[in-house]
Structure 1
Amino acid sequence: MQQLDERVVGMYKSIRQILQKYRSGKLPKAFKVIPNLQNWEQILYLTEPETWSAASMYQATRIFVSNLNAKMAQRFFNLVLFPRIRDDIAEFRRLNFHLYMAVKKSLFKPAAFFKGILLPLCESGNCTLREAVIVASILAKNSIPMLHSAAAILKIAEMDYNGANSIFLRTLLDKKYALPFRVIDAVVFHFLSFTKDKRLLPVLWHQCLLTFVQRYKEDISCEQCEALMDLLRAQVHEQITPEVRRELMNSKRRDLEIGESSEGAMALK
């Protein structure tokens, strides 16, 4: 922590009062230069972000997303935006429009968004379904580069299970990316880990499995397909499981296609 000039401290404390009541219009120039400062976190905390109005939070997110690199933006999301959106949903059971737009704006730095908001939400272990549905709705409506989403799917698939994880997985799988086989294998192993699970799994889990099979049934191997069939005998939902089984039975396999193409190449030689 650097010792700051008293005049600087006084100026940013007066800006704090503006940010608490801000609704629209221009922000002070002294606030806009914060991302360019070496000790930006220290200066930022003089303005007490937890007391900002929702409109201030949106404007601040715009400024920080535009001026910080991904690593620094991740810090801002994790320390300022992430706790604020959780508090807002917990208190009002919905997300303020300005905070919703702030989360949407944070997707302009996808790596920072996943590491600063989405993955901490999944890892917290206490993410509510309401929080998951709201954040997933923002994910669903916006374009995200495939590599960032693939990395997030991989991380979520390896986490301890809760219902919120199924919502995020299903939303990302529904974007129909051409995912690497490594990510598809990780999702298959995620589902197969429930083969001997004695819990009655929620509908969300079955819906996520159905979405995965519908989108990527031709990207799994014969061995994985057989293992998934065994899973369907252990984990049954009377309406969804027959649909999953039908999708698996009426699809090609990636290793069969590779085998056929190599046989064709040999025949040409």
Structure 2
Amino acid sequence: MSLPCNPIKGPDSQDADSDEEWPALGEAGVDDADAVCDAEVVVDPSDEKAIELFMNKNAPVRRTLADIIMEKITEKQTEVGTVMSEVSGHPMPQLDPRIIEVYKGVSKVLSKYRSGKLPKAFKIIPALSNWEQVLYLTEPESWTAAAMYQATRIFSSNLKERMAQRFYNLVLLPRVRDDIAEYKRLNFHLYSALKKALFKPGAWFKGILIPLCESGTCTLREAIIIGSILTKCSIPVLHSSAAMLKLAEMEYNGANSIFLRLLLDKKYALPFRVLDALVAHFLSFRSEKRVLPVLWHQSLLTLAQRYKADLGSEQKEALLELLKIQTHPQISAEIRRELQNSESRDVEVVLPVIVEMD
């Protein structure tokens, strides 16, 4: 079935194109994304080897995008179908064959899409209650990179945060990881999609960055490419603080250090609870026997540089003791200098009293 393509609505509409704060595809990240997208990202072999020591050796084999989506849809269908059967005595109705035919046609369009108009049938998917089931019919694993960008624009603008998080996690993240694994860099359209997805920062952290770190299989190349998004985009402090808290508390896998350093470099006014968690994160390595990557020492240095005045005197003393156990020839000395030559948040500064002479 051949589907007619409808023009995307103008700025006054409520769909993705009404999002004026985000640049169009031709403008999104042209200057800053080139370095990441146009050439293969070269990583330091020693850093890569050091990070591999902390990767999950028993991680399950990565499934294809279709496997992930179908599994989630099947779970939902089984759950809802059981409830429907118990209430009405009838199984949950299946999709109308005409709808299936329409979205199979949409699939063909998206598998060849380069630019221009998108089918209206695709643009209404976020408004459907069974949007995941319908989305599966369009075969996201076969979409072109340009189609993935346009889909991310639509879904990030029209889905609630929790649903956007599922789209990012089930559709966008696997595609991004597959592209980096195959080409050693990230397609420009997919990079732009990651930037566009930050329209909902909470969903971005919960659907992309946190699952990536929790997988225990994030490579140095993936961390560098996805981490560059953090440096190029403005992110609200509350979302970044929550992400840093989560990164500090989860099991260490190497990539954490990159994301923590990039977020620390944004110079937020962080709550003390987050800073305390970060200090506890680094102190947890006192008994670590494996050689820590340079990235770990760099992230600790960034913490000392940016937040030395916000640390307590006991925290500084503990970190100085840590430096005697986990050392780096150049970086440790710099960290020690930052910690020793700064005020602490729990030390009162006594101002001199000026006595007026009669």
- Deviation at 1:202? 1.0
- Give structure 2 stretches of 5+ with no counterpart: 1-76, 78-92, 354-358
What's 1:42 paired with? 133
- In structure 2, what is the Cα distance between the partners aligned to 1:209 and 1:76? 34
Higher relative contact order (CA 8 A, sep 6+): 2
* Partner residue of 1:138 out of 213, 216, 229: 229
Q: Which has the larger radius of gyration?
A: 2
- In structure 2, what is the Cα distance between the partners aligned to 1:197 and 1:57? 41
- Deviation at 1:4? 1.2
- Deviation at 1:163? 1.6
Amino acid at match of 1:12: Y
Matched, 1:31 2:125: no
What's 2:323 paired with? 232
- In structure 1, what is the Cα distance between the partners aligned to 2:162 and 2:299? 31
- Give structure 1 stretches of 5+ with no counterpart: 265-269
Q: Percent identity?
A: 70
- In structure 2, what is the Cα distance between the partners aligned to 1:83 and 1:58? 14
* Partner residue of 2:312 out of 203, 218, 221: 221
* Partner residue of 1:194 out of 265, 269, 285: 285
- Deviation at 1:201? 1.0
- Deviation at 1:260? 5.5
Amino acid at match of 1:224: Q
Which region of structure 1 is more displaced relative to structure 2, 193-202 or 231-240?
193-202
Give the SS at the match of 1:231: helix
| Aligned-pair Cα RMSD in Å | 1.3
Amino acid at match of 1:212: L
Tell me which protein shows more helix as a share of its residues.
1
- In structure 1, what is the Cα distance between the partners aligned to 2:259 and 2:169? 18
What's 1:166 paired with? 257
Which region of structure 1 is more displaced relative to structure 2, 102-111 or 155-164?
155-164
- In structure 2, what is the Cα distance between the partners aligned to 1:177 and 1:92? 34
- TM superposition score normalised by structure 1: 0.95
- Structure 1 consecutive aligned stretches of length 4 or more whose deviation exceeds 2 Å: none
- In structure 1, what is the Cα distance between the partners aligned to 2:286 and 2:96? 62
CA offsets 1:110-156 (integer angstroms, 9 cap, x no match): 00000000000000001000000000001111000000000000000
- In structure 1, what is the Cα distance between the partners aligned to 2:131 and 2:186? 27
CA offsets 1:160-197 (integer angstroms, 9 cap, x no match): 11221100000000000000000000000000111222
What's 1:242 paired with? 333
- In structure 1, what is the Cα distance between the partners aligned to 2:156 and 2:286? 43
- TM superposition score normalised by structure 2: 0.72
What's 2:204 paired with? 113
Number of aligned pairs? 261
Matched, 1:82 2:173: yes
Give the SS at the match of 1:256: coil
* Partner residue of 1:150 out of 241, 245, 259: 241
Amino acid at match of 2:171: V
Give the SS at the match of 1:254: coil
